[in-house]
Amino acid sequence: MSGRKAAKGAKRQGTISAGRIAARVADLGRAITRAYQGRRVDVVVMMDRGFVFAADLIRHVDAPVVCHFVQEDVRDVEHGGHPRREVAFGKAPEVKGRDVLVVDAVLDSGGCFWTSRSSVESRWSPITLGSGLHLMVYG
């Protein structure tokens, strides 16, 4: 029996149904709509992990939305004998003074996401900064 057929027939412990995920994404979209109160939202999508979640999420946002897709280059380096994670971005979008929502997927600890979010805040100077995460848990 292939892995696909086995997965289809058996529900893995700890899995969340597609319907429950879709409902939660819709809830997040409504919360974003309320938070931005009709103002334009610049959605910064971290590639390659966050674009599918971003597409699902912004369908539920009832406000003007402009999407910016940003490529990240994440490297674990050693600096002064201490491990460190560096995040470099491709071309930065023009979001200074705008309402910005950063969307990404978290594959494990979320460390890369929080590093990216801090970089967006310090380098791009948004007027407001929110975050949207799609948690992907492997087990």
The band of 47, judged by pLDDT with boundaries at 50, 70 and 90, is confident
Tally of CB atoms within 10 A around 73: 9
What is the C-alpha separation between 112 and 105, in angstroms, rounded?
10
pLDDT score of 28 more than 80: yes
Q: What's the pLDDT tens digit per position in 74-132?
A: 778 888 888 877 777 777 788 888 888 888 776 555 556 666 666 666 666 656 555 55
Strand partners, 42: 66, 100
Collapsed DSSP state (helix, strand, coil) of residue 36: helix
- pTM assigned to the model: 0.66
Domains of the chain in start order, with CATH, are 39-135 (3.40.50.2020)
Cis amide bond preceding 48, omega within 30: yes
**Average of per-residue pLDDT values in the chain:** 75
Torsion-angle region of residue 125: left (phi > 0), alpha (psi -120 to 50) or beta? left
- pLDDT for residue 20: 87
